[in-house]
Amino acid sequence: YRRKRAHEVNMSILVEEDLWRPWPKTRKRIRACLECIKHQLFRIGDDWYFLFVLGVLMAMISFTMDFTVSKLQKAHRWLYQELGDNTLLKYLSWIVYPISLTAFSTGFAQSISAQSGGSGLPELKIILTGVMMEEYLTMKNFGAKVVGMTCTLAAGSPIFLGKVGPFVHLSCMIATFLGKIRTCVSGDYENKNKQFEMLVAAAAVGVASVFGAPISGVLFSVEVVTSHFAVRNYWRGFFAATCGAFIFRLLAVFNSEQVTLTALFKTSFKIDFPFDIPETFYFIVLGVICGVITCAYLFCQRWFLGYIRRNRIIVKLMATDKAVYSALVALLVSSITFPLGLGQFMASRLTMKELLTSLFDNKTWFILSQNASLAKPPKVDPTNLWLEWWDPNFTIFGTLAFFLVMKFWMLILVTTMPMPAGYFMPVFVIGAAIGRIFGEVLAYLFPSGITSEGITTPISPGGYALAGAAAFSGAVTHTLSTSLLVFELTGQIAHILPVIITVLIANAIAQKCQPSFYDGSIIVKKLPYLPRIRSSDTGSYSVTAEQFMNTNFISLNKNADSQEVLKAFTATTSLVYPIVENTESMVLVGSVQRSELGTFLQTHGDEQANEDKMSQKENLRPSIQEYCSIDPITFQLSTQTSLHQAHHLFELLSLQHSFVTSSGKVAGFVTRSELKAAIEDLAHGR
Amino acid sequence: YRRKRAHEVNMSILVEEDLWRPWPKTRKRIRACLECIKHQLFRIGDDWYFLFVLGVLMAMISFTMDFTVSKLQKAHRWLYQELGDNTLLKYLSWIVYPISLTAFSTGFAQSISAQSGGSGLPELKIILTGVMMEEYLTMKNFGAKVVGMTCTLAAGSPIFLGKVGPFVHLSCMIATFLGKIRTCVSGDYENKNKQFEMLVAAAAVGVASVFGAPISGVLFSVEVVTSHFAVRNYWRGFFAATCGAFIFRLLAVFNSEQVTLTALFKTSFKIDFPFDIPETFYFIVLGVICGVITCAYLFCQRWFLGYIRRNRIIVKLMATDKAVYSALVALLVSSITFPLGLGQFMASRLTMKELLTSLFDNKTWFILSQNASLAKPPKVDPTNLWLEWWDPNFTIFGTLAFFLVMKFWMLILVTTMPMPAGYFMPVFVIGAAIGRIFGEVLAYLFPSGITSEGITTPISPGGYALAGAAAFSGAVTHTLSTSLLVFELTGQIAHILPVIITVLIANAIAQKCQPSFYDGSIIVKKLPYLPRIRSSDTGSYSVTAEQFMNTNFISLNKNADSQEVLKAFTATTSLVYPIVENTESMVLVGSVQRSELGTFLQTHGDEQANEDKMSQKENLRPSIQEYCSIDPITFQLSTQTSLHQAHHLFELLSLQHSFVTSSGKVAGFVTRSELKAAIEDLAHGR
């Protein structure tokens, strides 16, 4: 009663207040208007708020990680400088950092979650085809990956690893987590379709928040993780990626690294005459070179990944002491890159960012290096990074070539370390180096530049470095969007046509000969995987479902009782059973999960066995139609469906399983493994 | 005999020649190697050659058209200049060109093919959802469109129309034609799927060959014409668009317009400090403004398109003399833009290209116009295009505002002219003007620029023009890729983040309130069309197929004889009949086309009628199972399928029709019209 009374008093006060305020009608209208706006915003909202939060969170994580890593690296550089002339001490200080950090990264990540190693992109690709791998998207995994990644990156340029893949993975973990929170808070359904859409957007955010490149972030993630996508998802990804990139670059301004929102690796090429038409030919040659090196790299990479899974000693070591393996690899790699040893010929004092900045330099090193009075500075000189590449005896060609040869096998080696790490950035840097050396060779061959129509232009090797980075990273990952990424990264778009041509050619060669880096990992890790059908395999149109379907199935009558169910349950181990109208006509009317049958048998199996003994009243027998949830058939293949079409539909609808019927009768079923076998038969000429 | 003899002689000569040539083994090996390369190339090839040819052809058409149009426009400008001071003569020379050219364009195009009017993009969108509209892709239509387009463009800036849409349409026509040739030559099957893939790639080529912008060409065409796409198609589009853009820009170099491959509308903004962080706020405001103007424009556009279809006088005129209608509109529009009349306040002496170049100018007109000693030049001065916008009494704000107001209604008017024309470019220019005036106002409000961290930057209205163009054109077409297009067009990418934000905001407002320009045309033209389900319409998850399916169907027993077929054939007019196992169980086993039934009745109907009278041997009766081709059911909805899912599947699989079953029994069917009705019910709150 007291409460009610208080409420009434409150109300009357409110009413009085209302009466005393002026213009009640106007206020009412404004209030209604505000209410309407609020309603509108929250109605559009929902997903958009979610995507906004995702973008902001990822940008903050990315920025914080970069910030921490740069501080740690500065500390390392300072330590290394301060040790003076004692070579042994310098060596120890050089190697102790990578060894301890990688060992910690491996140990920490592996002890918390075994799924946190590697980039996580191959697994994500599999998840987006509809296979459930929930352990990959847990928050435990997230923690392990963030800490591990920070250590990996802080280990610096000797270890030579990046953060793109893991960030895509991290972003998807956050999206899953936010999705769960949303479901809890709003009590909203969270269906599978929605989750899929969010994961695609999250992948875009991952890339965008690493590079500050929204458009290519979306395109890259789409190309890497999915085979089909809806324009609607593209918008979501675009929005989230823009939020991520914007906040990421804004934080850089707040941290006084930049004066305004600009590109991450700003270049300063000439805009008026960036390259000459005849140079297009050399860009094509560069594309071919990148394509061939990609094939070699992908082959070696896959072979070595397989090798360490076969080699007994390594397998033993990996089974018990993963951290020791990482430490050993780090020891080898950092010893080789020691700046007073071999490292002086491969610019090993530069961090990954400095490497990239120096390679995209708009000056021509060959011309600069002809100046005789050069000397390598004792410290890295940020305004003349190229000096790190210069050696009086070795020349810049020598150092660049040496860098490429060493990094080629070192990258293959470090990718086997079982810690969280990205493999895109190192590939990108190696590509830039390939392009740079190619450009410098051209500048050497044509010292006066290329003349056309009376205008003489010196060749700018930076443009080739751009093209090389895009082409090599694009070919390794089988994507074309790297050609846009380099422009978003550098803030200049003048080289767009030659870069795209280079990327296309490198991709054509790589896609012809080798599976992509991510597909290669999927193959080596033996994850469920549906190979592509090449458009030249016209045989896929003539192979029909009849030829590759699995006919080893047992169908259940829709009125089947528990005895029949038991028989079917024990006879095969299929996960889905077809339900037919009756066993004579065999017309498919639905399907039932094996687990459903199990439950049915548990509840009704015994009961009926007793009943059987007592009476024979057939009508009372419990049938699956009554007690099991029978899934309707929405999709079925016909025996005449071609392999090409079946593959297309499995990809499009993320199907895992489908029945094959012939004028309504069940004839068999097809799963991804049947499809895979059929495609492989086709590729090997049956 | 003689022939055989000659052949033998030939052979012996060849053999002898072979013997006489040195190193037969090496030569054999080289030949085998060449054969292998040839085989490899042609195996990858096929599609790639096709796409290459498509790109080259479109680039050549685009370039040739630009070339012709620029010559025609130069002639017009020369004529106008040479007439001296006689205002009447000048007026006549100003109006006669647009009137005659548009009248000819309309008359010519309409007399050859009635489908060649307009942009063709809405129809293309419908074709790509699986509806057959073959008359839109014929070569007759192609010819009409090319000639018509040239005239439309040559009519110049008074008419103010572009060429993007028609070029997408032209490109698809060429792709269809090339596909037919390929089928003839190689005897290869050309299935529907392949045709679809080629059309998507062709759409990309269309945009790329107009703007020389490959990446945004692909993205724009994808966003406009499809709702889902495969990454594989994206690669095809990318390749073809690159070929198109490359050749298009190369031809410009050969024609000495450019020294090297550069952007179409090259800008020269400052790279180091293009805009300041606080300006992001103004970009957001610009996005809101563009969004609101877009809504107004789209509403007026749709209303006016509807109006001229209702107004009796216009309908009569359009039915008989389309060319007269065009001429009248051209007369009105060109009179208003007469440079000695109202035209002087709206920069009407500039062509579309010059308009865009002037609006993207990096100088601040407000600052320039404070110089008192200015005078409008008698001729257009290509180095000071902005002077056309300047008027001593009106100020640049006045001219820009007047331009916007006049062009707003004039654009709506000219889009009703029934001739081949594109509507993207004018929208793009209007957007640029909106951005420019906004930027100039900012420059006026903050004459000293925006100060941050001690650095003072003058505001660059060109950046706002860029953002305005992207946002307005993006919002009108409901696409986001215009944000990339502006950078590919201008060759500078520094403004990427603010431009994307502006585009996103304008799009959010436009998509919330109005259907896109193309969807609007589809609605007005009453083409078959599946509306989008908004993600906020969560009701679409709870509406099931049971509630919106059509239950008015007649099913046929699979052994039905001609009498039953006749009964079913006459009872309804459905295009597809379900075939059931038997009429008691009603279990769906297949479907048959109405046309098939017609053929069946023609051949067996009479025959059986006679038979019936003579004997009653039931077994001899011809049944549809034997004589009709029964299509297998690959896809069916369940009665529990939600509207959301059904819509998704119809879009994804380009379905036109699907049966609804409940545990195998036919319960109804769903076509696009049922889906559309259900979605509209949902949107109007049922």
CATH of the domain at A569: 3.10.580.10
* Residue whose token pair is 């390679």: A359
- Select from B161, B201, B184 the least CA-distant residue to B58: B201
Range ranked top by mean pLDDT from A283-297, A647-661, B664-678: A283-297
pLDDT value for B175: 92
CA distance A564 to chain B (A): 20
Residues B374 and B464 in one domain: yes
Residues A335 and A469 in one domain: yes
Secondary structure (3-state) at B590: strand
* Residue whose token pair is 């149109």: A541
DSSP string, B260-284: SS--TT-----SSSSS-TTHHHHHH
Beta strands in B437-506, from DSSP E residues, in sequence order: 450-452, 455-457
Residues A573 and A607 in one domain: yes
- Select from B414, B399, B541, B424 the least CA-distant residue to B482: B424
**What does the alpha-carbon distance between residue A88 and residue A104 come to, in Å, rounded to a whole number?**
24
**Average pLDDT along chain A:** 85
Tell me the chain A residues in contact with residue B590 when contact means C-beta distances shorter than 8 Å.
663-664
Domain annotation covers residue B655: yes
Strand order, beta sheet including B556-557: B556-557, B576-580, B588-593
Provide the phi-psi class of B479: left if phi over 0, else alpha when psi is between -120 and 50, else beta: beta
Based on DSSP, count helices (H) and strands (E) in chain A, helices before strands: 27, 9
**What does the alpha-carbon distance between residue B536 and residue B516 come to, in Å, rounded to a whole number?**
18
CB–CB of B634 and A632 under 8 A?
no
pLDDT value for A239: 92
> What is the pLDDT averaged over residues B137-150?
91
> What is the pLDDT averaged over residues A345-356?
90
**What does the alpha-carbon distance between residue B185 and residue A440 come to, in Å, rounded to a whole number?**
47
Based on DSSP, count helices (H) and strands (E) in chain B, helices before strands: 27, 9
- Select from B163, B145, B239 the least CA-distant residue to B200: B239
Domain annotation covers residue A83: yes
10 Å Cβ neighbour count for A96? 15
Give the one of B238, B260, B536 whose C-beta lies nearest to A46's C-beta. B536
Domain annotation covers residue A264: no
Q: Residue B245: which pLDDT band, with cuts at 50, 70 and 90?
A: very high
Does residue B396 contact residue B366 with C-beta atoms inside 8 Å? yes
Domain annotation covers residue A613: yes
Tell me the chain A residues in contact with residue B59 when contact means C-beta distances shorter than 8 Å.
none
* C-alpha atoms less than 13 angstroms from C-alpha of A68 in its C-beta half-sphere: 16
CB–CB of A663 and B632 under 8 A?
yes
Which one of B41, B128, B231 makes the best mutation probe of the A interface by having the most chain A beta carbons within 10 Å? B231
- In tens, the pLDDT along A245-293 reads 999 999 998 888 877 778 888 888 877 778 888 889 999 999 999 999 9
Tell me the chain A residues in contact with residue B502 when contact means C-beta distances shorter than 8 Å.
none
CB–CB of B242 and A558 under 8 A?
no
Domain annotation covers residue A644: yes
- In tens, the pLDDT along A440-460 reads 999 998 887 766 566 677 788
More confident residue, B294 or A539: B294
CB–CB of B493 and A512 under 8 A?
no
In percent, the amount of chain B with pLDDT more than 70 equals 90
Containing structural domain, residue A38: 2-43
CB–CB of A250 and B663 under 8 A?
no
Domain annotation covers residue A25: yes
> What is the pLDDT averaged over residues B604-625?
59
Does residue B379 contact residue B81 with C-beta atoms inside 8 Å? yes
Give the one of A234, A487, A589 whose C-beta lies nearest to B664's C-beta. A589
Residues A391 and A295 in one domain: yes
Largest CA distance in chain A: 108
Give the one of A239, A496, A587 whose C-beta lies nearest to B581's C-beta. A587
Asked if pLDDT for residue A607 goes beyond 80, the answer is: no
Residues B106 and B153 in one domain: yes
Asked if pLDDT for residue A619 goes beyond 70, the answer is: no
Q: Residue A586: which pLDDT band, with cuts at 50, 70 and 90?
A: confident
Tell me the chain B residues in contact with residue A650 when contact means C-beta distances shorter than 8 Å.
none
Strand partners, A162: A422
| Structure-block tokens of residue A124 | 């994500």
Give the CA distances from residue B548 to residues A193, B527, B542, B555, B637, in Å, rounded to whole numbers and listed in that order.
22, 21, 12, 19, 12
Q: Residue B403: which pLDDT band, with cuts at 50, 70 and 90?
A: very high
**What does the alpha-carbon distance between residue B619 and residue B614 come to, in Å, rounded to a whole number?**
14
> What is the pLDDT averaged over residues A530-548?
78
Domain annotation covers residue A269: no
CB–CB of A229 and B227 under 8 A?
no
Residues B557 and B520 in one domain: no
Query: In this structure, what CATH number is given to the domain that contains residue B396?
Result: 1.10.3080.10
Exposed/middle/buried for A312, CB within 10 Å: 0-12, 13-18, 19+? exposed
Beta strand A455-457 with A450-452 is: antiparallel
Asked if pLDDT for residue B300 goes beyond 90, the answer is: yes
- In tens, the pLDDT along B60-96 reads 999 999 999 999 999 998 988 888 788 899 999 999 9
**What does the alpha-carbon distance between residue A263 and residue A240 come to, in Å, rounded to a whole number?**
18
Q: Residue A154: which pLDDT band, with cuts at 50, 70 and 90?
A: very high
Tell me the chain B residues in contact with residue A549 when contact means C-beta distances shorter than 8 Å.
none
Residues A416 and A493 in one domain: yes
Residues A60 and A39 in one domain: no
Residues B39 and B112 in one domain: no
If one counts the domains in chain B, the total is 4
Rg of chain A over CA atoms, in angstroms?
31
Residues B284 and B205 in one domain: no
Tell me the chain B residues in contact with residue A494 when contact means C-beta distances shorter than 8 Å.
262-263, 491
Give the CA distances from residue B544 to residues B27, B647, B654, in Å, rounded to whole numbers and listed in that order.
71, 11, 20
> What is the pLDDT averaged over residues B529-555?
80
Residues B285 and B421 in one domain: yes
Asked if pLDDT for residue A540 goes beyond 50, the answer is: yes
**What does the alpha-carbon distance between residue A27 and residue A18 come to, in Å, rounded to a whole number?**
10
Domain annotation covers residue A361: yes
Does residue A265 contact residue A357 with C-beta atoms inside 8 Å? yes
Range ranked top by mean pLDDT from B3-7, B171-175, B344-348: B171-175
CA distance A586 to chain B (A): 10
| Beta-carbon contacts below 8 Å between A and B | 235
- In tens, the pLDDT along B47-65 reads 788 899 999 999 999 999 9
Q: Mean pLDDT check: name the lowest of A170-179, A306-315, A384-393, B482-491.
A: A384-393
Residues A85 and A28 in one domain: no
Asked if pLDDT for residue B432 goes beyond 70, the answer is: yes
pLDDT value for A452: 59
Strand partners, B577: B592
pLDDT value for B60: 95
How many residues would you count in chain A?
686
B533 DSSP assignment = P
ipTM: 0.88
- In tens, the pLDDT along A631-647 reads 888 888 888 888 888 88
How many residues would you count in chain B?
686
Asked if pLDDT for residue A232 goes beyond 70, the answer is: yes
Does residue B59 contact residue B251 with C-beta atoms inside 8 Å? yes
Asked if pLDDT for residue B336 goes beyond 90, the answer is: yes
